[in-house]
């Protein structure tokens, strides 16, 4: 095994040892080069996906990274690294025994993060880039390929080896006009069912991050956070039943309301009694100005007989039979569009059978 002083793969400067910094999502061991590259240490070599995400977020100065594309907006390189000795390693046969340094450099400089204030001493050395096969094809691209095939079990297998895969799925979930985003949300549910057998702490931490992203202090970037939380809950409803009222408490936030109602519908498909407490709030949502909220509420009430038979619910839903507003509906891996009228007709028809 050969060892070298670690250098920035983009400019050849010797880099400083990564230092631990505190972020809203926990502590990250990271550093920055004078050329603008940011690097994050994955000491075990088994969480590279998470390290990639963290490095990209640090370079960008925030977690709004879902629209960024590798080789267009940024470049990534990784190298085998021993954190204890602060040395770069080169050994094809013992790769699994080493840690990893993951580097990200934006092509358009937008350095807003305080981590970039740190600099490293300059040194003129020839660069030796050991770009791995993993970095040639980005983690994001591999996940996208699996989502296109709906190979959720394979995505879950990847997540078992590298919990950072969950963050990539979150970053792929923001554009709800794209079926891939909905498949990323569905994949989180598969991962939840897998992790509920022994990795509940990771799921709890993911829920905490998602709920945080829905708060004012985050800047409101958790566009699909509610749907993601709902999917995680479906993986083990009993273990996460305390999360359901917390998620529902965000319903006053207009931008998340449709996603929250959708999430309640997913939970109702499995354990309707766990969402029974929301029934009293649903009639008001049938009159929401957002057609997606109205459509998802009708769908949800169809899953809760108590809600459908309460008060004037049927009468309210009947009034929506003339509402032709389109609503995106994700069903069996495909993204469709249904009018509120169609959804209302289906719910009323099924309820009288």
Phi then psi for 165, rounded to 5 degrees?
Answer: -60, -35
Residue 23 pairs in a beta bridge with: 26
Last residue of a domain, one of 270, 295, 321: 270
Nearest in space to 253 (alpha carbons), one of 283, 218, 277:
218
Do 101 and 152 lie in a common domain?
no
Do 183 and 208 lie in a common domain?
yes
Q: Rounded to 5, what percent of the chain is helix, strand, coil?
A: 50, 15, 35
Q: Tell whether the model's pLDDT for residue 283 goes beyond 90.
A: yes
Burial of 140 (0-12, 13-18, 19+ CB in 10 A): buried
Do 204 and 262 lie in a common domain?
yes
Residue 136's pLDDT is 36
Mean of per-residue pLDDT scores for the chain: 83
Do 257 and 288 lie in a common domain?
no
Domain that holds residue 284: 277-353
Q: Tell whether the model's pLDDT for residue 124 goes beyond 50.
A: no
CA distance 113 to 117: 8
Residue pair 165/134 in contact (Cβ under 8 Å)? The answer is no
Burial of 264 (0-12, 13-18, 19+ CB in 10 A): buried
Total residue length of the chain: 353
Query: Strands 74-82, 99-106: parallel, antiparallel or unpaired by DSSP?
Result: antiparallel
Do 147 and 235 lie in a common domain?
yes
Do 9 and 80 lie in a common domain?
yes
Residue pair 149/44 in contact (Cβ under 8 Å)? The answer is no
CA distance 252 to 112: 31
* The residue to which tokens 């305080």 are assigned: 114
Indicate the pLDDT class of residue 1, thresholds 50, 70 and 90: low
Phi then psi for 118, rounded to 5 degrees?
Answer: -80, 145
The structural domain count of the chain equals 3
Lowest-confidence region among 15-24, 95-104, 145-154, 265-274: 95-104
């Amino acid at each position: 095994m050969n060892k070298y002083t670690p250098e920035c793969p983009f400019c050849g400067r010797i880099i400083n040892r990564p230092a631990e910094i505190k972020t809203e999502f926990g502590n990250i061991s990271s550093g920055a080069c004078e050329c603008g590259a940011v690097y994050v240490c994955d000491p075990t070599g088994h969480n590279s996906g998470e390290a990639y995400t963290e490095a990209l977020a640090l370079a960008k100065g925030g977690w709004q990274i879902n629209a960024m594309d590798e080789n267009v907006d940024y470049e990534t390189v990784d190298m085998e690294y021993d954190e204890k000795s602060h040395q770069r390693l080169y050994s094809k046969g013992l790769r699994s025994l080493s840690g990893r340094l993951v580097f990200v450099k934006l092509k358009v400089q937008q350095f807003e993060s305080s981590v970039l204030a740190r600099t490293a001493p300059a040194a003129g050395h020839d660069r030796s880039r050991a770009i791995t096969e993993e970095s040639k094809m980005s983690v994001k691209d591999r996940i996208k390929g699996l989502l296109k095939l709906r190979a959720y079990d394979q995505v879950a297998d990847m997540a078992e080896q590298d919990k950072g895969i969950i963050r990539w799925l979150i970053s792929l979930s923001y554009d709800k006009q794209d079926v891939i985003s909905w498949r990323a949300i569905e994949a989180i549910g598969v991962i939840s069912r897998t992790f509920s057998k022994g990795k509940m702490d990771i799921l709890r931490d993911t829920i905490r991050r998602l709920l945080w992203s829905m708060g004012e202090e985050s800047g409101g970037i958790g566009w699909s956070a509610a749907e993601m939380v709902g999917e995680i809950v479906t993986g083990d409803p009993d273990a996460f039943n305390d999360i359901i009222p917390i998620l529902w408490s965000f319903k006053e936030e207009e931008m998340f309301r449709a996603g929250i109602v959708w999430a309640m519908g997913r939970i109702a498909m499995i354990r309707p009694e766990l969402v029974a407490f929301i029934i009293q709030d649903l009639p008001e949502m049938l009159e929401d100005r957002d057609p997606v909220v109205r459509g998802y509420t009708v769908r949800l009430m169809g899953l809760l007989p108590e809600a459908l038979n309460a008060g004037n619910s049927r009468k309210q839903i009947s009034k929506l039979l003339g509402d032709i507003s389109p609503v995106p509906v994700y069903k069996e891996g495909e993204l469709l569009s249904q009018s509120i009228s169609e959804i209302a007709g289906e719910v009323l028809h099924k309820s009288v059978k």
